[in-house]
Structure 1
Amino acid sequence: MFEVNYLKFKNILDIKFLGINKPITCIVGPSGSGKTTLLRMLNKLNVPDNGTIIYNGNDISKMDTLKLRRQVVMLGQTPVIYSGSVEDNLQIGLYFSKRLPASISAMKESLERVELNKSLSDSCGKLSGGEKQRLCLARVMLMDAETYLLDEPSAALDKETEQFIIDNLSRFVLGNHKQLVMITHSELIAEKFSDSIIRIENGKVMEAYNMEKYEIVTEERYGGIL
């Protein structure tokens, strides 16, 4: 779980306090509001100018980056596909994080979870945009992290496939006691997790499921100086 305190980054983010403490959290807000920048900071892809980010009681600025990224895996908005087969692309995340390769059965299960009907030996050269997105989702779930950071996980998907993937992704996270933090513009997803929404506008938290706690904590913790 994350706790953000006095976070500032250029003229993009200015967040005094934010707690992300639910199994599934949706971050919403207009384009350019700082959502992706915040998400990238949660696994040290961006480093704040000021402030701290605490993950499960540890200041991430003091954590080993590789160790953090084994625990906190991010999937960006644009699918990254490597040359080679479907299997190559599923295994590469584990390779980069210096973990053991996945079994054949685990890889097939990950493809079924995102409804990607491809053989492990198939080439990735002719995958559609939606298929690439699903393959990337299968890859990050296969990494068995503690926390998943997803930037528009259902981008490039039709409504039916979006529903299927989000339902399966949610079951995977909840069933395995993991955490999911995702940016979304999807009304379908936002409605599904309406009690777990953080809204960011102009780099500030405008609404959060812990906003009441925010008001109490800031007053008690910072002596009403905010």
Structure 2
Amino acid sequence: MFVIENLIYKDILLIDRMEIPANKITCLVGESGAGKSTLLKMLNIMLSPDGGEIYFKDKNIKVADPILHRRKVVMLAQQPTIFEGTIRDNLNIGLNFSEKKLKEDHELNKALEIVHLNKALNEDAGTLSGGEKQRLALARVYLMEPEVYLLDEPTAALDEDAESVVMASFIKQVKQNGQSVIMITHSQKIAAKYAEKMITLEKRAVDRG
């Protein structure tokens, strides 16, 4: 699905070749500063490498329309943005931005069930806790129905029990839908349980003279 060749980015990334398969759960692991989040942003065309190539489905993403690409490859940042308004507003806003048809309330409630967020659609999203906001953001990207989810620490604000329940439910749906996940996770338990491919990034040792 993604093929990376001879990628260079500042003092952060140096990747000779990397392949990320379709319809699989791929976990990116490695110490802080190894470039995991940077790599996700490149796969989403939020950053461009200093050298090398990134291919998505055999096409160089240098020539891709970033907006169209991001409709297929949706990223959830570690600190997700929550917008003013209700939970309903926040669930639909990703669809609105990507010019997709808004979902009916029963579909929105289904997404909330998947991430185990028991809240009313008309509730003010600003009143949610950090962990609840993270689950709301995960439900929002789920509703966008992409080919690929890029998830940067999607459960960092959850305790271990909640993390296990939410990821089990989310990944079950992803597998049923034939979608792909590329995920950074701090949780060795989550990586060990769900990763169908594990990619370890190592922090570059840079000689500064």
| TMscore range, shorter length | over 0.9
1:6 paired to 2:6: yes
Residue by residue over 1:68-111, the C-alpha shift from the partner in whole angstroms, topping out at 9 and shown as x without a partner, is 00000000000210000000000010111111111111101000
1:117 paired to 2:118: yes
CA separation in 2, counterparts of 1:161 and 1:56? 34
- Report the counterpart of residue 45 of structure 1 in structure 2: 46
- Per the alignment, do residues 203 and 176 of structure 1 end up closer, same or farther by CA in structure 2, a change over 3 Å counting? farther
CA separation in 2, counterparts of 1:73 and 1:17? 23
Residue by residue over 1:131-154, the C-alpha shift from the partner in whole angstroms, topping out at 9 and shown as x without a partner, is 000000000000000000000011
Q: Which has the higher mean CA deviation after the structures are superposed, 143-152 or 165-174?
A: 165-174
Partner amino acid, structure 2, of 1:133: Q
Q: Residue 5 of structure 1 contacts residue 17 of structure 1 at CA under 8 Å; is this kept in 2?
A: yes
TM-score by length of 1: 0.88
Superposition map of 1:132-211 within 5 A: 132-193=133-194, 195-203=196-204
CA separation in 1, counterparts of 2:147 and 2:204? 26
Q: Residue 25 of structure 2 contacts residue 195 of structure 2 at CA under 8 Å; is this kept in 1?
A: no
- Report the counterpart of residue 85 of structure 2 in structure 1: 84
CA separation in 1, counterparts of 2:174 and 2:59? 22
Q: Secondary structure at the match of 2:201?
A: strand
- Report the counterpart of residue 98 of structure 1 in structure 2: 99
- Report the counterpart of residue 16 of structure 1 in structure 2: 16
Share of identical aligned residues, percent? 46
Q: CA deviation at 1:195?
A: 4.6
Q: Aligned residues, how many?
A: 204
- Per the alignment, do residues 58 and 88 of structure 1 end up closer, same or farther by CA in structure 2, a change over 3 Å counting? same
CA separation in 1, counterparts of 2:204 and 2:2? 18
Q: Residue 82 of structure 2 contacts residue 90 of structure 2 at CA under 8 Å; is this kept in 1?
A: yes
Q: Secondary structure at the match of 2:139?
A: helix
Consecutive unaligned residues in structure 1, runs of 5 or more: 205-226
Q: Residue 15 of structure 1 contacts residue 203 of structure 1 at CA under 8 Å; is this kept in 2?
A: no
Q: CA deviation at 1:203?
A: 4.8
- Per the alignment, do residues 90 and 195 of structure 1 end up closer, same or farther by CA in structure 2, a change over 3 Å counting? closer
CA separation in 1, counterparts of 2:195 and 2:68? 32
Q: Residue 34 of structure 1 contacts residue 203 of structure 1 at CA under 8 Å; is this kept in 2?
A: no
Q: CA deviation at 1:193?
A: 3.1
Q: CA deviation at 1:125?
A: 1.7
Q: Residue 79 of structure 1 contacts residue 136 of structure 1 at CA under 8 Å; is this kept in 2?
A: yes
Q: Secondary structure at the match of 1:201?
A: coil
CA separation in 2, counterparts of 1:201 and 1:177? 30
**What stretches of structure 1 move > 3 A for 4+ residues in a row?**
none
Consecutive unaligned residues in structure 2, runs of 5 or more: none
Over aligned residue pairs, what C-alpha RMSD do you find?
A: 1.2
Residue by residue over 1:44-74, the C-alpha shift from the partner in whole angstroms, topping out at 9 and shown as x without a partner, is 0111111111111111111111110000000
CA separation in 1, counterparts of 2:159 and 2:16? 37
